[in-house]
């Protein structure tokens, strides 16, 4: 009898789920919207694997609901802050994620946010759409240059490096701060955090959300940034103290921000004040949202499941 695999969403992109169905017995959450912990727990008993997204809660209760058959939690996401990894490690469950396959696509979006925030694309588009473009004036819609600016990357892993490569095409100077990448390379100079904040025209965040990075960018760090600077995040909402950011932008202590991630997701109709601020470009967590990349993420998650269920090491396991 093939192994039960709990898949937290129906209709995932690509052909990965089809492959999973050929080798295992997937059961899908088919309710509308995001499944709650009880709904997932009800489907979990006897599962050998869970395929989840980056914002599905995977806690000890879900692992226990699956029971001793559970061997792997495979995330179709690079971020893994939604998983209780300590609980998984205690139970001998492998947790995998999807690095590599989404780095370039997410870096593209980080760059889109940099350009949109610096050149005030949101405000300009909205003005045109409401019929406000009545004359070419030299002083309308002015933004700040991206080419030649200094870019500070907080987190210099796969995505940070992919952003650095793009920045060189724009003639930018690149600095990074990362406790795990303390030396520079041909693309970027390693810098202390405070120095990076003070020197950069654009600061882009590329760290996972952990106990060390929660509210890494708070009032103190924002105060170190130039009033002409832009903060961009495609990482996780919890890395930034959103109230402090909102006040810094509103009070003109920071030029702008570009955000793809929030402390509370999704927003639905209850918009965060960040989404209503002219100088903050907000997107609905679409860093990896291209057809090819989303399919590749599901594919890699399925490969990880099939490997572990077949007794092979997972391709992209997180440290236990
Ligand atoms: C990721 O892969 O971490 C993206 O943010 C989607 O969850």
DSSP string, 120-153: THHHHHHHHHTT---S--TTTT-----TT-EEEE
Mean pLDDT for 281-285 is 98
Mean pLDDT for 251-266 is 97
The per-residue pLDDT for 173 is: 98
Mean pLDDT for 279-287 is 98
- Residue for token pair 């402390």: 263
Q: What is the crossing angle of helices 158-169 and 103-118, to 10°?
A: 50
Read off φ and ψ for residue 244, nearest 5 degrees.
Answer: -65, -40
The per-residue pLDDT for 33 is: 81
Q: Which ipTM was obtained for this model? A: 0.95
Report the predicted TM-score, pTM, of the whole model to 2 decimal places.
0.96
CATH of domain 103-282: 3.40.50.720
Q: Cα(149) to centroid of ligand 1, in Å?
A: 28
Read off φ and ψ for residue 79, nearest 5 degrees.
Answer: -70, 150
Q: Indicate the burial class of 72 (C-beta count within 10 angstroms; 0-12, 13-18, 19 or more).
A: buried
pLDDT grade for 320, boundaries at 50, 70 and 90:
confident
79 lines ligand 1 (CB under 6 A): yes
237 lines ligand 1 (CB under 6 A): no
Q: Cα(79) to centroid of ligand 1, in Å?
A: 5
Non-local CB neighbours of 291 within 8 Å, separated by 6+ positions: 13
The per-residue pLDDT for 110 is: 99
The rounded percent of the chain whose pLDDT value lies above 70 is 100
Q: Indicate the burial class of 212 (C-beta count within 10 angstroms; 0-12, 13-18, 19 or more).
A: exposed
- Quick check: helix, strand or coil at residue 203? strand
Cβ atoms within 10 Å, residue 110: 28
- 55-114 pLDDT, tens digit each: 999 999 999 999 999 999 999 999 999 999 999 999 999 999 999 999 999 999 999 999
Mean pLDDT for 149-163 is 98
- Quick check: helix, strand or coil at residue 175? strand
d(CA 66, CA 54): 19
Q: Where in the chain is the domain with CATH 3.40.50.720?
A: 4-100+291-309, 103-282
d(CA 62, CA 84): 10
Q: What is the DSSP letter of 318?
A: P
What pairs with residue 26 in β-bridges? 5
d(CA 185, CA 134): 48
Question: Is 294 designated active site?
Answer: no
Position in ligand 1 atom list of the atom nearest CA 236: 5
The per-residue pLDDT for 32 is: 81
- 120-150 pLDDT, tens digit each: 999 999 999 999 999 999 999 999 999 999 9
298 lines ligand 1 (CB under 6 A): no
Question: Is 215 designated active site?
Answer: no
Q: Name the residue among 291, 235, 237, 239 with its Cα closest to residue 263.
A: 237
pLDDT grade for 206, boundaries at 50, 70 and 90:
very high
CATH of domain 4-100+291-309: 3.40.50.720
The per-residue pLDDT for 1 is: 56
Largest CA distance in the chain: 72
The per-residue pLDDT for 155 is: 98
Question: Is 90 designated active site?
Answer: no
Residue 236 structure tokens: 């996780």
102 lines ligand 1 (CB under 6 A): yes
């Amino acid at each position: 009898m093939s192994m039960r695999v709990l898949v937290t969403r129906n209709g995932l992109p690509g052909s990965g789920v089809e492959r999973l169905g050929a080798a295992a017995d997937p059961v899908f959450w088919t309710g509308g919207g995001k499944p709650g912990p009880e709904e997932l727990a009800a489907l979990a008993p006897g599962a050998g694997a869970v395929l989840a997204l980056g914002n599905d809660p995977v806690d000890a209760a879900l692992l226990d609901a699956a029971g001793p058959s559970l061997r792997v939690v495979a995330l179709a996401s690079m971020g893994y802050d939604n998983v209780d990894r300590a609980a998984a490690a205690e139970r001998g469950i492998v947790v995998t994620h999807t690095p590599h396959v989404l780095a370039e696509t997410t870096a593209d979006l980080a760059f889109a946010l940099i350009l949109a925030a610096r050149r005030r694309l949101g405000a300009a588009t909205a003005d045109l759409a409401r019929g406000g473009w009545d004359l070419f004036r030299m002083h309308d819609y002015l933004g700040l240059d991206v080419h030649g600016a200094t870019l500070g990357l907080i987190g210099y892993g796969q995505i940070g490096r992919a952003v650095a490569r793009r920045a060189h095409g724009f003639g930018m100077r690149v600095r990074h701060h990362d406790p795990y990448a303390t030396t520079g390379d041909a693309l970027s100079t390693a810098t202390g955090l405070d120095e990076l904040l003070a020197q950069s025209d654009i600061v882009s965040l590329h760290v996972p959300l952990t106990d060390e990075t929660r509210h890494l960018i708070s009032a103190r760090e924002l105060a170190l940034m130039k009033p002409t600077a832009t903060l961009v995040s495609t990482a996780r909402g919890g890395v930034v103290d959103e109230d402090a950011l909102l006040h810094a932008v509103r009070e003109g202590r920071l030029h702008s921000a570009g955000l793809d991630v929030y402390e509370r997701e999704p927003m639905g109709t209850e918009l965060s004040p960040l989404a209503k601020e002219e100088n903050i470009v907000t997107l609905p967590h679409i860093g990896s949202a291209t057809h090819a990349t989303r399919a590749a993420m599901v594919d890699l998650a399925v490969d990880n499941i099939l490997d572990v269920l077949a007794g092979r090491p997972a391709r992209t396991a997180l440290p236990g």
